[in-house]
Amino acid sequence: MFTRILKAGCAGLLCVLGFSAFSFGQIMTFNSPAPWLTQRNDSIVVKAQLDTSKFAKKQLTLSLLKMEAGKKKQVLTKTFKVKDFTQDFFIGMANASLVGGKDFFKVIWSIPGAKDSGYCAPIGIVNIDKIAKSGPVHATKVVTPIDLKDIAGLVKDKKFTKVGADEFLLLWNTKTLSIIVKKSAVKSTVKFTFDGKNGKNAFVSFADKMLDYVMDKDSVFAYENDRSYLDSITYTQKAWVSEIKKVSDKDYALVTIPWYDVGLLPFDGRLMGFGAFVKTDVPKPAAYPEKAEVLEPGSWGNAVLDK
C-alpha cells in the first residue's frame, strides 16, 4: 500500500512540476508562452495564473531577455499591477522575425520588494509573413522504382538545384523520396534536412530528420536530434533508424528514403519543409534557401512533389 501511495504521490508531483517547471512554487504559473514555443509574431504577451496573496505591493515585474550567440541582452522590462489571479500582460514587441536554433528569448518574472522570481525559456519566434520568400525545390514524379541503372535516363533534361558548388535533384514516387547528388572533386558534405510536418518551428525537434552525404568518402550519415535546455540549448545527434539506401557510380550518388521514414504520406502537390546545406573549408556554409540555418526549421524552404 505504501509503495502505491508513494508512486501516486511522485506522479502527482511530476505533473505539478511539469505544469510550472519555470515558476517559483505556485506563485506564478505560465499558461503562455511555454518552453520550446514558436511564436508566430514578435508581440510578447504573458498569460499567467497568480497567487495574489504573495504580491504585497500588488506589482509584478516582467523582463524579456534575448540569448544570442551565447550573449545575453535585455530587451524589455515592465512592471504591472496585479489585479486578479489570472491575467494577461503585454510586455512589448521583440522586434525580431526569426529567433531559434541555439538562440532564444527568456521571460523573467520577479516581485518588487521580494526575493521571489522565476522564468520561462526557451521561446522562439518564426514570423512567416516577414521571412524572405523562396521558391520550392521541385521533386519530379517517377512511376517506376528508382535504381542506379536508371540514373542516366532519369537525369536527362532535368534541372539540378545548386547549393554552393554542389548540385542535387529530387525524385519521388508513392514509395520513396530519392536524392541524386552530382559527384565532384570538392571535399564537401551536403546536408539535407526534412521537416515532414512542415511546422516551420524555431527549434529542431526529434521529428526533423537530417542526412549528410560526404562527397570524398561517398558515404551517408542519417540522424535526428535530441535537445535539452539548461541555461543554453544543446542538440545531440543520434542515428536515424531507417531503411535509407545509397548506391553510386562514378558520376552520381543515389540516396533513396522510404516515405514512412520521413514521416508523411506523399501525394501530388504536397509540400514539406526542406533545406540543403554544403559544408566545406569556408566558415559559412552555402544553403538553400540562401539564408537558411541548419538548426532553425523555420528558415528552411520547401520541397514540392510535382504531379
- The number of residues in the chain equals 307
Domain extent listing, the chain: 22-130, 137-305
Q: What is the CATH number of domain 22-130?
A: 2.60.40.10
pLDDT tens for each residue of the chain, 307 residues long? 333 333 333 333 333 333 333 344 589 999 999 999 999 999 999 999 999 999 999 999 999 999 999 999 999 999 999 999 999 999 999 999 999 999 999 999 999 999 999 999 999 999 988 887 888 999 999 887 676 677 777 788 889 999 998 999 999 999 999 999 999 888 899 999 999 999 999 999 999 999 999 999 999 999 999 999 999 999 999 999 999 999 998 899 999 999 999 999 999 999 999 999 998 776 677 999 998 999 999 999 999 999 9
The pLDDT value recorded for residue 157 is 81
CA gyration radius, the chain: 24
The pLDDT value recorded for residue 12 is 35
The pLDDT value recorded for residue 150 is 73
CA distance 228 to 236: 8
Q: Is 121 helix (H, G, I), strand (E, B) or coil?
A: strand
Q: Is the domain 137-305 a CATH 2.60.40.1190 member?
A: yes
Picking from 85, 81, 90, 78, the residue whose alpha carbon sits closest to that of residue 59 is 81
> One fold for both 22-130 and 137-305?
yes
The pLDDT value recorded for residue 154 is 77
User: What residues form DSSP beta bridges with 143?
Assistant: none
DSSP-assigned letter for residue 101: T
